[in-house]
Every structure is written in C-alpha cells, then in structure tokens.
Amino acid sequence: MGSSRRRGDRQLQFQLLHRLLALSSLLLLASGEVIFEERFEDGWETRWVKSDWKKSEGKAGMFKHTAGKYSGDPDDKGIQTTIDARHFAISAKIPEFSNKGRTLVVQYSIKFEQEIECGGGYIKLMSGYVNQKKYSGDTPYSLMFGPDICGTQTKKLHLILSYQGQNYPIKKDLQCETDRLTHVYTFILRPDASYSLLVDNRERESGSMYTDWDILPPRKIKDVGAKKPKDWDDREYIEDPDAVKPEGYDSIPREIPDPKDKKPDTWDDDDDGIWKPRRIPNPAYKGQWKRKKIKNPNYKGKWKIPWIDNPEFEDDPDLYVLKPLKYIGIEVWQVKAGSVFDNILICDDPEYAKQVADETWGANKEAEKEAFEEAEKERKAREDKVKIFN
C-alpha cells in the first residue's frame, strides 16, 4: 500500500511538472518554429497513414497505441510495433520545410521494450511526393536517423544524409543504447554545415558535414610529390661533439681475477699446475666508449608530408541543405517486436528540443526505471513459479 501511495504522489508531482514545462515551452516558441510535433495523443491516427507494404505477403506489422508494459507516465503513449518478424511502415505528412539558412532539429524517443534480437528503431524524413499507402523501404529519403541493432555485433546509430540523390552515411562509428528503457535521440544540423548528435539531452558527437561525410572531396590533401628537404634535421638527440674519451679507458679489462677466490690448501702446483683465481666481470669496465647523447640544437621535428589545397574540391555553400521536407516515416524490420516510438519533433530551435526532452523524458526517467525493475521482479517471480510446478 505504501509503495502504491508513493508512486501516486510521484505521479502527481510529474503531472504538475509536466504542466509547468508545457507552459514554459509555449513561451519558448516565440524564438523558434515547430514544424511538426507528435506526442501520439488521441487522434494521432488522423495524421498518420499505415502503409500496405508487405500486407499482401502477410509480412506487414501493426502499431499499437500504448505506453508499453512499463512506463514513467502511463498516459504518455506512443506507438509500439507488434507481431514478430514483420515489416513496419507508417508515415505522416508535415508542413513543407526547407532548412536553407535555418537550423534543423530532429528529435524522437524510442524504447526497445522487447529484448531486441535484430531490428531497426530509426525514423526517416522524405522530400517530394510520397504515396503513403505504398511507403516502403524503397521510398527515397533525405534523412535517416536512429538505432539499428542485430545480434551482438551491430549496435549502430544511423545518421544518413541525402545529397543530390545519393545517400551518404556518417563515417563515424556511432553506437546506440541497447537497454530496455526510453532514450531520446536528437540531431541538429546548422547552416554552417556543423552538426551535433545528442542522446538523452547530452551531446555525444559533433563535427561538420565537410569532414564526417564523404560527400565532397576533402578541402586539403597530402602533397604526395613533396620530399623532405636535404637540410631537414629530424634527429631529436645527437652525440655530444665535445665529449672526450677518458684517458686509459680502452685499457680497462673486461674481466679481473676474483679477489675473494683463495688457493685451496690441498692445491699442489706440481701436480695441479699453477693455481689461478677465477675471473669475474670487471665492475670498472663500461664497454665500448660512446659519446653521450644531447638535445640536437638543430632539431626541426619529425618531417611530415604537407597538406595542400585539393584542386578537385569545389565548395557547395548549400551542402547542408536538404530537399524540402514533406513527410516523416517509420520503416523498420524487427525479428522481435515491441519498440515504442514517441515524442517526435522537427523544429529549428535546439533549446526548445531540449525543453521537450526534459518534459517528456527527463521528468519520467526515474519513474520508468522503477516501473521496469518492478516489472522484471514480477516476470522473474512468474518464471520461478513455473519452474516449481514443472
């Protein structure tokens, strides 16, 4: 009873915080524009179109409106993939948006409630006309973003951009979250072609489209024809030219008689020969004399092939510009279903996106963790009970 009351009090606190954050979010909107925001509240089906792709083959999955088996807020529902080993395809039309001269922010949350074996959890943004009833894996897209897990090897976070009709994946090896809790993924693309990638409102990666995608030839290349100058001294240390070999150094023997070795009393020189002490290494012997090393006053550092302007590079000031965005879609294959997609946001204000993440995910993450742990205890108890009866 006490545990239930505490959860009820916590839920009330979350609801109050939710309202306060919602109010502050409205104030924040004055500085930016929300292109599309989907929290999958009642009526969401009027905005989304389920594709008939794979339906005739019996391989089309369905989405269920739910917060899942466990959540921080049961009223905060998303859409969950159902039926194992299926293709899932659903899309929504959005107000046409061009990111030319503007920052593009794409954000959403996903919870792999199932112990996912192999399946995607990404979203796509499309340009041009899309026949939503035929939306499929072959439908061209301008942006693909989100996790993709398969076995123990693939735990990838996709970030693919389209440029002049060709798709380019980010060169970095981005890893996604693999636990069974909700996580928020945020991609920010700016007019200077720089980007940031956030996971759970924390920046995980940043960089530039110029360097992290193989879209344009590099600005700089190594001058393969360059040769190290003859006068380039790359010796960090040299022998001391002023060092002088000590007098008598070469006459120091390598071995000397052992001063502790004594002639045995039973030794007979006539019968045994002239007794000689054993020889031992001479501690005064230092080996072949070498000049000591000193810092080279003419050291110029290790020579490196210089970088030069790439004659094949031609800048495109609109490198970051995607074709005008018109649709957002979820198109994934999952061996085991159960992923919950929620809180999709497309806007031009990173601060608003951060606010939404705090409101929808941050306020509920601890309660969700507790709900998950409680659900796991109940599941294990049921399994143990079955084992006893078996």
Tell the residue number behind the tokens 């071995």, with chain if given.
255
Of 190, 193, 233, nearest to 209 by C-alpha is: 193
DSSP 8-state class, residue 359: I
DSSP 8-state class, residue 60: B
Does 210 carry a binding-site annotation?
A: no
Task: Return d(Cα 377, Cα 390) in angstroms, integer.
Answer: 20
Give just the sign of the alpha carbon dihedral 242, 246, 248, 251: negative
Task: Return d(Cα 269, Cα 271) in angstroms, integer.
Answer: 6
Query: 344 near 34, Cβ under 8 Å?
Result: no
Q: Angle at which helices 350-357 and 2-28 pack, to 10 degrees?
A: 170
Query: 63 near 317, Cβ under 8 Å?
Result: no
Rg (CA), the chain: 35
Amino acid (one-letter) located at 18: H
Does 286 carry a binding-site annotation?
A: no
Of 103, 102, 111, 104, nearest to 80 by C-alpha is: 111
Does 141 carry a binding-site annotation?
A: yes
Amino acid (one-letter) located at 355: Q
Give just the sign of the alpha carbon dihedral 41, 45, 46, 51: positive
Query: 7 near 334, Cβ under 8 Å?
Result: no
Annotation: binding site: 122, 124, 141, 148, 331
Q: Point out the annotated binding site for an alpha-D-glucoside.
A: 122, 124, 141, 148, 331
